[in-house]
Chains A and B, each alone.
Chain A
Amino acid sequence: MALLQISEPGQSAAPHQHKLAIGIDLGTTNSLVATVKSGMATVLQDEHGHALLPSVVRYMPDGSVQVGHEAQAQQSHDPANTIASAKRFMGRSLKDIADRAHIPYHFVDSADANKLLQLQTRAGLRTPVEISADILKTLKMRAEKSLGVDNGRGELLGAVITVPAYFDDAQRQATKDAARLAGLTVLRLLNEPTAAAVAYGLDNAAEGTFVIYDLGGGTFDVSILKLTKGVFEVLATNGDSALGGDDFDHRIYCWVLDKIRESDSHFSPLNEQDTRLLLTKSRQAKEWLTDNHEAQIVCRLSNGSLVDVMLSAQQFVALTQQLVLKTLTPTRKAMRDANLELTQINGVVLVGGATRMPQVRQAVEDYFKQTPLTNLDPDKVVALGAAIQANALVGNRSDNDLLLLDVTPLSLGLETMGGLVEKIIPRNSTLPVARAQDFTTYQDGQTAMSIQVVQGERELVADCRSLARFELRGIPAMAAGAARIRVTFQVDADGLLSVSAREQATGIEAHVLVKPSYGLTEDEITYMLKSSFGSAEADKKARMLAEARVNAGAIISAVNIALNQDGALITAAEKQAIEAEIETLQTLSQNDDALAINQGVDKLNHATEAFAAARMNASVQRALNGKNLDAINL
């Protein structure tokens, strides 16, 4: 009989306990949450058995928030307070929204064209980040209930959240901000086509070169991956972050409007309710045409007039031909970037609800000269892949055989003289990636300089998206041209940029001041967190303290595990120093000073730097069978 293992009172449970992690597909039209249960990736359902949560949020008259099917049902009745497709506005400013006239929301005008857009709702001003956070909160609650977090069956360690591969830095940052507002720990932002490839590849034990063609509600991605024994290497990615199934609905909507105008020359512009109603009818017609030859669109407008038109599948194909063609341009670009011939593609996987349209399938088949693979549910495959990755990231997969090597979708560049862009990190570079660039001063005694970073493929700064204007301060005063400031641009595994700078001659670390051209400031996030968790100052303090304690607990346990495994790599004195910091932090955690706890965390981190380097060296050494990498200067 096996002996029961019982841990010491107060210590965390057995280390082999299954760690809870989820994958979230935060979609334009629908969102899903999935997890790995007993080795199987499963999409979690709500209490009514729905897997798909419509990405629709309604702000109710009584101050509550409705998310999903109920909100979607009220779209036509309460258009200004019922927000759908908020993903299309993530990280975007008003000037990015082309078809504002056809969107039934109250956008807030701002003198600053680059300011992130806001919507006026019954609940006050709302940003797309907050709206997305409401969707994420709903999914988080669903997961906690389903996994039994509330019943003490474990703690939710975090989530992998998927984003379109073609999302830029601003859109990724906005997604991360939304998760933070929803109280979710982001394990990783994962590109949607890569997630789909993981689910597909593991399910089919696929090997070779695969294309993922992902046409969602509002975004289009195409990624080309090489699959070898659990390694998913993205060779190239491309796309259009403002092209999706919504646009097909919109073509039908415009066609219906034309029909109404033909029969009624005195026709006046539609109000918000009618706009929403016709858009919904257009979406239904699109879905109907997947399996039928014609769709009848019938509805009564608020002025009493009846709309009754018939749209044939043939007409629909003609109306949307340009949209379908628009997906092939990024597809060809990705093929060229990957340096591949069509004959080298082993399979084409279709992802996203919009790939159900027969004309889309046909276009993909015609281009690749092979029948696309559709054996996975195109709505669920991304969430399933995210769950598998989340499960691996928290260490539940015993075998270290899943490795995702993803790329940056857009080139990063710097503004040079005359508004030109100097590329520093080309698109499709494998992540993480860093590039250093040296700068010098223009004037004697100059102590600061400003650097503009842009993202995009165009040659003029004005045609790219400005990521940030960095101000380097604290450069030692020297003659013009004497200072050598090395600025390092690092893009991490989430595809997010960070910058550091150092003056080479003196070794002085120049202070980098990041002024994002987009995104929420720390103050705005704090304010939103405050208003979403109740405005009392005490609440905020309690929350900060709770966060600091969780953080301290996590690092103490990480360091303890490391010491157990690799304690032999360092001297007894070094080990003692680390253990002393752990003890200090443990004491601090029992007090109520969040700031002191955070400082303790920083100190422990600092104390383990050399140990971390030794561990990294040892693990790589193991990987290459005894190669000593002690000399790598990290």
Chain B
Amino acid sequence: MSLNYYQLFDLPPIFNIALATLETNYRKIQSEAHPDRFVTASSADKLKSMQLATLANEAYQTLKNPANRAQYLLTLNGINATNESNTSMPADFLMQQMEWRETLEDASMASDILTLQALYDEMLAAAKGLAADLAQLFDEKKDYTNACETTRKLIFIDKVCADIQQAIEHLD
């Protein structure tokens, strides 16, 4: 069995992790494993170094981002949040989702960067709320069914954020 990302960084498998510890331990590992430490080493050492440094980067990015972390934590509990059978969403969230999409499209058409930025801020606030919910669902209630639904909401919001960024980039 291989170590999971939490074990790699010496962290408990919870949602509300200490980000400072994550960062410190990530740097400790890269200080030892990074290919820059093996420039004059044998090619076997170089290969191992690249593999471990790559793994540490992947693990760090996964645990740093709340949506990725939630998704990963669900996987550790045997749940695939993006599985095709996991598609149900509450009606009110679907409504809201359509509204956000419409605002995004209208603002893009009208080249309205200010509205796009306001929408982006709104999404960030919504993401923050969902992350707080996830901390409760995962760490206190151990309610993985609802955590899965909330995770999917968060993934959706991340995607809208990326689309807003892209729309702003196009207009810039």
Contacts and interface: CB of A to CB of B under 8 A. Distances in A.
Interface of A: 157-158, 187-188, 231, 329, 332-333, 336, 389, 392-395, 400, 403-405, 429-434, 490, 492-493, 554-555, 558-559, 562, 604-606, 608-609, 611-613, 615-616, 619-620, 622-624, 627, 629, 631-634
A429 B58 CA distance: 9
Contacts of B27: 231, 403
A622 B32 contact: yes
Nearest to B162: A426
Contacts of B114: none
Interface stretch (B49-57, B74-82, B98-106, B151-159): B49-57
Residue of B25, B29, B54 ringed by the most chain A CB atoms within 10 A? B54
B91 interface: no
Contacts of A609: 44, 47
Given A231-B27, A336-B169, A612-B45, A558 B57 contact: no
A492 B43 CA distance: 14
A559 B45 CA distance: 9
Interface string B27-41: 111111111110111
B18 interface: no
A188 B35 CA distance: 10
B39 A393 contact: yes
Contacts of B40: 157, 393-395, 554, 558
Contacts of B7: 627
A434 B39 contact: no
A634 B35 contact: no
Given A332-B172, A405-B34, A433-B58, 17 more contacts: A157-B40, A231-B27, A403-B34, A403-B36, A429-B57, A430-B60, A490-B54, A493-B34, A493-B35, A612-B42, A616-B45, A616-B48, A622-B32, A623-B29, A623-B31, A629-B8, A631-B3
A434 B50 CA distance: 10
A188 B58 contact: no
Interface string B1-22: 1110001101000000000000
Contact of B54 (A158, A188, A434, A633): A434
Contact of A631 (B1, B42, B51, B168): B1
B166 to A, nearest CB: 9
B39 A394 contact: yes
Query: B interface, how many residues as a size bin?
Result: 35 or more
Interface in B49-73: 49-55, 57-58, 60-61
Given A612-B42, A632-B55, A623 B32 contact: yes
Given A332-B172, A394-B40, A632-B8, A432 B28 contact: no
Contact of B41 (A336, A558, A620): A558
Contacts of B172: 329, 332-333
B32 A620 contact: yes
Residue of B7, B29, B31, B45 ringed by the most chain A CB atoms within 10 A? B45
Contacts of A615: 45, 48
Nearest to A404: B36
A609 B48 CA distance: 8
A615 B38 CA distance: 12
A104 B23 CA distance: 52
B50 to A, nearest CB: 5
B54 A432 contact: yes
B52 A632 contact: yes
The 4 closest A-B pairs by CB, nearest first: A612-B44, A633-B2, A623-B28, A493-B35
A432 B165 CA distance: 25
B32 A632 contact: no
B168 A336 contact: yes
A36 to B, nearest CB: 15
